[in-house]
């Protein structure tokens, strides 16, 4: 399985990537939304994108809106992984097309639980 990890923090990308790899995911990293779109243009759809909201150039919500307008990515799952914790932010992300929402900071167990909810792990 392939995952796109979109976060402007190299440290956070590394943490998420290291959590995903033992679960069988190959992770592709992107620093911001525009970077993520370029990566997807190169690789095609991934199984899941783990998206931080607050990134430069193009934020995570804008990225979600862009991929949800492109039929090539209809089957791609999106999980927001962010510090944005207000109920209104969660609703905006879900309305934009995110499938799940994980608050930072999070545990590996919480990440696994969300991946199980999305039927990516058995």
**Alpha-carbon gap, residue 71 to 121, rounded angstroms:** 25
CB 52 within 8 A of CB 8: yes
One CATH from 3.90.550.10, 2.30.29.30, 3.40.640.10, 3.40.50.2300 for 2-117 = 3.40.50.2300
**Alpha-carbon gap, residue 97 to 106, rounded angstroms:** 22
- Domain spans, the chain: 2-117
Q: Which of 55, 24, 25, 21 has its CA nearest to residue 37? A: 55
**Alpha-carbon gap, residue 50 to 6, rounded angstroms:** 6
pLDDT tens across the length of the chain (122 residues)? 999 999 999 999 999 999 999 999 999 999 999 999 999 999 999 999 999 999 999 999 999 999 999 999 999 999 999 888 888 998 999 999 999 999 999 999 999 999 999 999 97
């Amino acid at each position: 399985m392939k995952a796109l990890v979109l976060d402007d923090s190299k440290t956070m990308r590394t943490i998420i990537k290291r959590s995903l790899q033992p679960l069988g995911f190959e992770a592709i990293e992107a620093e911001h939304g525009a970077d993520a779109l370029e990566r997807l243009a190169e690789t095609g759809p991934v199984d899941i994108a783990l998206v931080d909201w607050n990134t430069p150039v193009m934020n995570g919500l804008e990225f979600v809106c862009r991929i949800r307008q492109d039929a090539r990515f209809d089957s791609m799952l999106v999980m927001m992984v962010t510090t944005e914790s207000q109920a209104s932010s969660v609703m905006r992300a879900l309305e934009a097309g995110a499938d799940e929402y994980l608050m930072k900071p999070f545990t590996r167990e919480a990440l696994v639980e969300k991946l199980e909810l999305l039927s990516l792990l058995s």
